[in-house]
């Protein structure tokens, strides 16, 4: 309709004002909810042709459309905006296309598809995944599905931070205090076991630093000179030198962690097409840095450390290799970016990383540009806000975190308790109930996180997320299950419906409103892809579920005696179910057939 209106208005401007008006001046968008109308024309750009006030110009164009275009049934002018009302028959015709099998996501497909690489998760192998990682993984995986739905070739990647001083801390603590403990012996999941020793290192290290401070040493100096930290630094040097004993310990403990990570990813329903490891990519980065140094693009300090001077870009001096030759995070990020572009030739590379790393990615892009990698313009930092608890921020070093595995289990258990309390699944077989509890619990978790604007910090509250009413995943799931129940009952009663909806059907305001909302789905997905915001789809699904439930309560469906009206209502139910299922799938959420 937007295209048709633009054409009609352009033609009208030629007739009314004897003017040829370019398409970009005819701006049409959906009418805001607080005003009456379906589509709105912005009148201001047209005043140069009408030589009149915004109100008079809007009035003239509105009258012209009413006289020449039967689909426009009314209009109103608010200041410089012409709000147009479209006939119910046009909306029914529009809905007929959906019922006839139009691709729900067809209008989302890009005319110029790209190769897009998304990096998400990025865990360290010194601790298990936690709530912050959950938000990261859910955002990254949902972006993959949304961008894929828009026709792009999307590669899901992960970079595992498996080297560095923090990894050596866990290794050293296990070596000193572990007494040969393994996941198999202890019954502790591998990533949890390694995380336990990371926390133990920090505790013992602080004790040592406190002793030095008590003996009169400056606190900063004490922290730098604690024996444990010195040993960890020595271990890192050994690791980078390939010391066999250190490498054997590293491989063993990392294998425990990877097994644990994979189990968590499986529970969460996310995966990757390619996993990179910092222990490999930092070597590539190091070689690139040495080559750039020889080309005069970087400089070496007197202590043999290598730096990038970014002051001309409004940034600062950035260390790339330490004086002892060991790498920093930037080293591996340079290597990883180059390797990825060589392998996939991406147009865009999206880093799903928290907003505390904003400056880091500014610097990464600037360094790659300085090194003449022109494709660096395609790097984009998807900067999202932190997840906090009602009691404040999580602290991994102190072990004060919400463990991902524990949270997933808690959400599924909460789904079971709430469902039992409401009596919703009392007649279901035990194995089916277990699967539905899992879907409800994960939907509650995923939806609560994804409905929030990614750029904003958020506080996660498990109790709020599981509610079967309000803006929650279970509410949307329950709406879908309700729709599926309508069709099971229709099948039992032998009721079918025609997809050839009559344009003269007596559609009420509720039916038309539902059609309008259904039509917005493809536009919402397109906007979500453009702005990298799964929250747009999440909140759209809630709006649609809420609108359908009001429709369901206000009108009978299977009991409607007018065949044409029943066909329309069953059709609305079917398409609503498909849109909800598709929308939630883009968020990585499964929909149970019954609840």
Question: What is the 3-class SS of 196-251, one letter each residue?
Answer: HHHHHHHHHHHHHHHHHHHCCCCHHHHHHHCHHHHHHHHHHHHHHCCCHHHHHHHH
Question: What residue spans in the chain does CATH classification 3.40.50.620 cover?
Answer: 120-398
- Which has the minimum average pLDDT: 29-43, 124-138, 261-275, 416-430? 416-430
Q: What is the pLDDT of residue 397?
A: 44
Q: Which CATH number fits domain 2-86: 3.40.50.10490, 3.30.1360.70, 3.40.50.11030, 3.40.50.10190?
A: 3.30.1360.70
Angle between helices 329-344 and 358-370 (to 10 degrees): 60
Extended beta strands in 323-473, E state: 348-354, 379-384, 387-388, 458-459
> What is the helix (H) or strand (E) element at residue 555, kind and residue range?
none
Q: Closest by alpha carbon to 364, among 376, 378, 349, 372?
A: 376
Q: How many CB atoms lie within 10 A of CB 95?
A: 25
In this model, does residue 489 exceed pLDDT 80? yes
- Tell me the average pLDDT of the chain: 91
Q: What is the mean pLDDT of residues 133-151?
A: 97
Whole-angstrom CA distances from 542 to 400, 523, 576 are 33, 16, 12
pLDDT value of position 491: 93
The gap from C-alpha 532 to its chain's centroid, in whole angstroms, comes to 7
Q: Which two tokens stand for residue 361?
A: 């990615």
Average pLDDT over residues 97-105: 81
Res 196 pLDDT > 60:
yes
Q: What is the pLDDT of residues 383-407, one digit of tens each?
A: 999 887 766 444 444 445 788 999 9
Residue range(s) occupied by CATH 3.30.1360.70 in the chain: 2-86
CATH number assigned to the domain with residue range 120-398, chosen from the 4 options 3.90.1640.10, 3.90.1150.10, 3.40.50.620, 3.40.50.920:
3.40.50.620
pLDDT band at 282 (very low <50, low <70, confident <90, very high): very high
Residues in the chain: 595
Q: Which residue has the higher pLDDT, 402 or 161?
A: 161
Please state the rounded mean pLDDT for residues 181-198: 96
**Which regions of the chain carry the CATH code 1.10.730.10?**
404-586
CATH code of 404-586, in short, is 1.10.730.10
The answer, as to whether pTM is greater than 0.75, is yes
The pLDDT of residue 391 is 61
pLDDT digits (tens, 9 = 90+) for 539-575: 999 999 999 999 999 999 999 889 999 999 999 999 9
């Amino acid at each position: 309709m937007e295209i048709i209106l633009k054409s009609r208005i352009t033609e009208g401007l030629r007739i009314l004002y004897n003017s040829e008006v370019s398409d970009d001046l005819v701006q049409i968008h959906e009418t805001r909810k607080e005003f009456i109308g379906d589509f709105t024309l912005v009148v201001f750009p047209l005043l140069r042709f009408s030589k009149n006030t915004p109100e008079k110009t809007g009035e003239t164009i509105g009258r012209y459309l009413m006289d020449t275009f039967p689909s426009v049934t009314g209009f109103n002018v608010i200041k410089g905006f012409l709000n147009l009302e479209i006939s119910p028959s046009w909306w029914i015709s529009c809905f007929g296309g959906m019922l006839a099998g139009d691709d729900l996501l067809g209008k989302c497909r890009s005319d110029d598809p790209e190769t897009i690489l998304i990096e998400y998760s990025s865990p360290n192998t010194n601790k298990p995944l936690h709530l912050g990682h959950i938000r990261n993984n859910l955002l990254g995986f949902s972006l993959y599905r949304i961008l894929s739905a828009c026709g792009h070739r999307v590669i899901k990647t992960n970079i595992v931070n498996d080297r560095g001083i923090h990894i050596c801390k866990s290794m050293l603590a296990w070596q000193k205090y572990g007494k040969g403990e393994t996941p198999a012996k202890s019954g502790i999941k591998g990533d949890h076991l390694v995380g336990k020793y990371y926390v133990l290192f920090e505790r013992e290290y602080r004790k040592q630093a406190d002793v030095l401070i008590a003996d009169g040493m400056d606190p900063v100096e004490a922290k730098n000179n604690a024996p444990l930290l010195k040993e960890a630094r020595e271990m890192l040097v050994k690791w980078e030198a390939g010391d066999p004993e250190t490498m054997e310990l590293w491989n063993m403990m990392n294998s425990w962690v990877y097994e644990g990570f994979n189990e968590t990813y499986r529970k969460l329903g996310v995966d990757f097409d390619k996993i990179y490891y910092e222990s490999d990519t930092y070597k590539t980065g190091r070689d690139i840095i040495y080559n750039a140094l020889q080309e005069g693009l970087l400089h070496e300090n007197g202590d043999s450390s290598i730096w990038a001077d970014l002051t001309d870009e409004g940034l600062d001096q950035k260390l790339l290799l330490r004086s002892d030759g060991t790498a920093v995070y930037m080293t591996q990020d340079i290597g990883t970016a180059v390797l990825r572009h060589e392998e996939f030739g991406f147009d865009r590379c999206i880093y799903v990383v928290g907003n505390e790393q904003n400056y880091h990615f500014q610097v990464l892009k600037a360094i790659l540009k300085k090194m003449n990698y022109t494709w660096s313009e395609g790097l984009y930092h998807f900067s999202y806000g932190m997840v906090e608890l009602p009691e404040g921020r999580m602290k991994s070093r102190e072990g004060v975190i919400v463990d991902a595995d524990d949270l997933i289990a808690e959400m599924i258990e909460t789904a079971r308790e709430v469902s039992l309390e409401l009596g919703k699944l009392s007649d279901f077989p035990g194995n089916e109930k277990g699967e539905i509890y899992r879907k409800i619990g994960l939907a509650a978790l995923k939806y609560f996180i994804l409905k929030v604007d990614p750029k904003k910090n958020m506080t996660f509250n498990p109790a709020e997320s599981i509610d079967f009413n309000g803006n929650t995943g279970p509410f949307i799931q329950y709406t879908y299950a309700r729709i599926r129940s309508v069709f099971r009952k229709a099948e039992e009663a032998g009721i079918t419906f025609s997809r050839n909806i009559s344009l003269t059907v007596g559609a009420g305001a509720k039916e038309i409103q539902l059609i309008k909302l259904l039509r917005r789905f493809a536009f919402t997905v397109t906007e979500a892809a453009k702005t990298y915001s799964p929250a747009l789809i999440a909140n759209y699904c809630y709006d649609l579920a809420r609108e359908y439930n009001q429709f369901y309560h206000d009108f009978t469906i299977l009991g409607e005696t007018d065949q044409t009206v029943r066909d329309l209502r069953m059709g609305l139910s079917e398409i609503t179910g498909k849109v909800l299922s598709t929308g939630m799938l883009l968020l990585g959420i499964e929909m149970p057939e019954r609840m």
